[in-house]
Amino acid sequence: MTKRPLYQQTVADVYQQLQTSEQGLSAASAQDRLARNGRNALAQQKKTTLLQRFIGQFKDLMIIVLLVAAAIAGLTGELVDAVIILLVVILNAIFGVFQEAKAEEAINALKDMAAPSATVRRDGQVLTVKSDELVVGDSVLLEAGDVVPADLRLVDVAGLKVEESALTGESVPVEKTSAVLTGDDLGLGDRTNLAFMNSNVTYGRATGVVVATGMATEVGRIAGMLEAADETTTPLQANLVQLGKALTGLILVIAAVVFGLGLWRGTANVIDMLLTAISLAVAAIPEGLPAIVTITLALGTQRMAKRHALVRKLPAVETLGSTDIIASDKTGTLTQNKMTVEQVYQNGRLVPAADNPLRAADPLARVMLLSNDTQQLADGLAGDPTETALVQYQLDRQFPVAQTLKTFPRVAEIPFDSERKLMTTVHPLSDGQFLVAVKGAPDELLKRVTRVDLAGEVTTVTAAQRSAILATNHDLATQAIRVLAFAYRVVPAVPTPLDSATAEQDLIFAGLVGMIDPERPEVAQAVAEAKGAGIRPIMITGDHRDTAAAIAQRLGIITAKQTDAVLTGAELDALDDATFQKTVDQYAVYARVAPEHKVRIVNAWQKRGKVVAMTGDGVNDAPALKAADIGIGMGITGTEVAKGASDMVLADDNFATIVVAVEEGRKVFANIQKAIQYLLSANLGEVLTLFMMTMLGWQILAPVHILWINLVTDTLPAIALGVEPLERNLMNRPPRGRQSNFFSGGVLSGILYQGFLEGALTLGVYWLAITFPVHASASLAHADALTMAFATLGLIQLFHAFNSKSIHGSLFKIGVWRNQFFNWAIVIAFGLLAMTILVPGLNGIFHVTTLTLGQWGIVGLAGLLMVVIVEIVKFFQRRALPQVTTR
């Protein structure tokens, strides 16, 4: 026989099952259970040491290729090459460790949320013990302000309300009960006779029996999900792996072919051909690419930090740019997580709260304030969020709150309870009578109403007025507005005995107040911008279906007609993974979901090939934040657990900041793509130049030539491309998605034809210098030709950097001088290249000659031709594919 869930069992059944009682455990029994089952604490996650994180940076294939090239260069005596390559690799590793220094702390943050102590009953005595000493079967006492120390089955409840939004996503505190629940497969938010570890008691008191501790609690289950979750590979990391594999194959093939052909032709010995092969490897490997990618990402994180998006892991910057889906938690992310008065029904009229003329003499305003347990502290209001919303509304309207409370002190009360759903307080009046102030659920309160107050005139309530009140309540409820009703009566003395029968009868209806956890004012615009960028926003919440649907409509996530776009957690449970994956695009709102549901939603979209960003602030969001391609935590309202599981944290808790981050992410990818096209086309030009020189039997450029060109052209200009301004209409394009890579969008064809063009122009200059030499001496002629090829190959790449400012856009429309860092980078790079030829002494080290003005003119013309020819190709590309215009 299957054991029934705890919420379906009676208190007596639970006591029997756990072998305990209302008096709690004995001290000996508690000690024995603690020894057998362990402490009430969450497992600590094993930390990664600084050395482990540093070593982890060298697992990338591109880094391994560079290390191999450095080793070969060192073994063959090319120490300068080896040292420079190693410096690039180490710099990249330091950047990575620095950015990821804050390792995963989510599970430890969960532990930090735990209550330090708990009040229990053992051996019939009330004691205070450390919360980690609690065991299953302990009897725990709760009161307002407590943190629930373990998972409890509630036994005795007196107006208990527990704030569970971090765990369940419920936007308001949950009213608890000790009664047996009958529903099957109830979600956490509906298990109202249970209290969960790390949730907060906001009202009332209760006694409960511990039913789970440590990792067996609901919070512990989430901690286990976090520990078991695999780290996702970002699109950037996947693209770099693909690029590394492609380059590795290319390098090996080219080096082997050249080495074999050279030996076969017999034009050089083994050592010379090995040096030639190394030259080709150096030419083929973009040594600066890892550093350039890292620096571009790091600069992106700095710009994002200035706009309140704090990135914990570098690749997350670019991942945002490829995002297809933003799956957002509702409470605290799309909404303010703060109940606010929105509608007021008074004197037979429903008006927006801002338009309600709040006067001190109004019975509604007085009852709202008096039948209320909110406390005014120096730093704000404290109490139940619903009650504090009523007081805050009056403070915002300059209502004399303090004076009213002083004039009408509370002398008696009937606390709220979940059965009658009312709260009543009694206050003396100046004429010796007493005001009975009542608030509660409209349907329950209306049963006790006999009269109605209409602008100070009290008359018998009619059937039509009752119908209007109930209809208003229904209309507001369908808009996900929480409604409270208010009534009063004046009595000559405090009722004796003070109970519902004597005090909560013959009431005068004062009005209704509608409250909601309102959407953040900037979110609707952010949702519209996300949709304009081809990104689909979806809402995931622990709130009820109607509440979720209403907020989603107000934000523009769904329309009023899209009722079938809302799916509950129970309905999701009824779908197997295969079916859900096929139909996931039908749903935009998920209500009443558990943490595992959020992970299923993220995984379903990922299996459809989509890049998913998940936002959230609660403990219940943490597993999905970690499972998503990029997890986005809230910096202000977010729990440390959510932040620890996130790749990025919003410092201002502003959903609109996500759109800003997406824009920055797209710019980062576009700029990295430009740098890659620039670097690989330049390196292809170098490879082709060396390959053809070898095949033609010409004197070839030495490794020092290639390395210096790479050092000059692959660093500052490439980095400068990484800070190019945002391209026009970038946010109007659809996401590039998971299947695209750095070679998409015409980049591969650009690399090929531009690389061939660079090689052809360099070889052309070399042939021209040999065919029409300035010097009669053959050795000088060859030296001049080699120098001109060296200068041409370097200068062409600097000219080509201007072409690379946009993949398809015209240089003349982009603006040549917009990026000042780029301009200075070109000037400095040209100076470094020219000084090897012009500075006496250096030309000897680099085995080059001093060129004449005419020879420099030929070199400059070749560089200018690079710009002209690429501009012509881009012109025809834009004519053939108008959509590629980017500026």
First to last CA, the chain: 69
**Residue 492's closest CA among 558, 540, 429, 401?**
429
Q: 793 and 686 in contact (C-beta within 8 Å)?
A: yes
CA 511 to chain centre: 42
Residues 6+ apart with CB under 8 A from 689: 283, 701, 758, 759, 762, 763, 789, 793
Q: Which helix (H) or strand (E) holds 692?
A: helix 655-696
Q: 689 and 763 in contact (C-beta within 8 Å)?
A: yes
Burial class (CB in 10 A: 0-12, 13-18, 19+), 428: middle
Is the omega angle on the peptide bond into residue 773 within 30 degrees of 0, that is, cis? no
**Residue 277's closest CA among 72, 84, 74?**
72
CA–CA separation, 316 and 505 (whole Å): 61
DSSP class of residue 229? P
CA–CA separation, 587 and 589 (whole Å): 6
Residues 6+ apart with CB under 8 A from 619: 110, 113, 166, 167, 198, 219, 222, 639, 641, 642
DSSP 3-state percent helix, strand, coil across the chain (nearest 5): 55, 15, 30
**Residue 804's closest CA among 759, 764, 855, 758?**
758
Active site residues: 329
Sign of CA dihedral 544, 526, 622, 643: negative
Annotate 772-806 with DSSP letters as a single string. S-SSSSHHHHHHHHHHHHHHHHHHHHHHHHHHTTS
CA 834 to chain centre: 47
CA–CA separation, 633 and 814 (whole Å): 36
Where do the DSSP E strands lie in 492-641?
507-516, 536-540, 566-568, 589-591, 612-616, 630-634
Q: 655 and 633 in contact (C-beta within 8 Å)?
A: no
Calculate Rg over the CA atoms of the chain. Answer: 36
CA–CA separation, 85 and 83 (whole Å): 6
CA–CA separation, 647 and 637 (whole Å): 17
Residue located via tokens 């040096």: 275
CB atoms within 10 A of CB 576: 8
CA–CA separation, 204 and 143 (whole Å): 6
Burial class (CB in 10 A: 0-12, 13-18, 19+), 333: buried
